[in-house]
Amino acid sequence: MLKIDIATLFPEMCEAVLSASIIGRARKAGYLDIACFHIRDYTADKHRNVDDTPYGPGKGMLMQADPMYRTWEAACARRGGRPHVIYMTPQGKTLTQERAKELSQMEHLYIMCGHYEGVDQRVIDEIVDEELSIGDYVLTGGELGALVLADCVGRLCPGVLADESCFTEESHWDGLLEYPQYTKPAVWHGAAVPEIITNGNHAAIARWRREMSLKTTFEKRPELLEKAALNEKDKWYLRTIGWTEQTEKEP
């Protein structure tokens, strides 16, 4: 079972999210082992301070190396091993479904949340294996990123969702976006569900879904098609809706 530890100044914020819905149920059922470590519990300072002013000119506070380091030591001691350490930061590589898949196969992840102006570089240099961002913008703290990461990695772990098809047929798994989906009623506000998905012909439905997935990707995120694994039939279909293959990159 995947273990995920989150080092944070706001464990109650993380717990509130990670106790709800599918991830909360998976934790209760024993498919995921997630723990939050309150960085303030690991200070040597009697006032439980975790931050100080940065060296050099500039405003704001920076998280100190020592409480971050002690929190990591506590997690290693409690779990009995060294985790893969991820620091959530706008400077990291952007999180992708592909990386989430790889991370879901690890044994133990430790996610470090910064706050204020960030974290003293020395502890990053000493314990962090990987820096991840959830997008090219700046948040007040790493918690939202850590929650995004724990959710998207956690749902890929065995037992969390009903079966693998719950995520292998979704957007970004194979580089494409998902086809449109419909539920009851068959007609809503005058719009009927496409006839082809109601007629029980599984081969025809599979082909329709593939084509709709290609079309959706072409319309919403055409750049994804450059990296997706497309067969000749896919390319033929895409050409009929206006796609042209990029064989050469502009210099």
Ligand X SMILES: C[S@@+](CC[C@H](N)C(=O)[O-])C[C@H]1O[C@@H](n2cnc3c(N)ncnc32)[C@H](O)[C@@H]1O
Tokens of 42: 């690991």
Which residue in the set 47, 56, 137, 163 belongs to the binding site for ligand X (CB under 6 A)?
Answer: 137
The alpha carbon dihedral of 96, 97, 102, 103 has a sign of positive
Which residue in the set 8, 89, 171, 217 belongs to the binding site for ligand X (CB under 6 A)?
Answer: 89
What is the C-alpha R_g of the chain?
A: 23
Determine the interface stretch with ligand X among 17-25, 99-107, 127-135, 240-248 (rule: CB under 6 A). Answer: 127-135
Tokens of 98: 């592909």
3-state secondary structure of 95: coil
CB of 188 closer than 8 Å to CB of 60: no
CB count in 10 Å sphere of residue 37: 22
Which residue in the set 71, 104, 133, 213 belongs to the binding site for ligand X (CB under 6 A)?
Answer: 133
Q: Which is nearer to ligand X, 74 or 139 (CB)?
A: 139
Determine the interface stretch with ligand X among 4-12, 50-58, 131-139, 176-184 (rule: CB under 6 A). Answer: 131-139
**Distance between CA 165 and CA 156 in Å, rounded?**
10
Which residue in the set 66, 117, 151, 178 belongs to the binding site for ligand X (CB under 6 A)?
Answer: 117
Q: Which is nearer to ligand X, 94 or 105 (CB)?
A: 94
For residue 85, what is the enclosing H or E element?
strand 84-94
- Least distance (Å) between residue 69 CB and ligand X: 15
Residues that bind ligand X (CB under 6 A): 88-91, 113-115, 117-119, 133-135, 137-142, 145
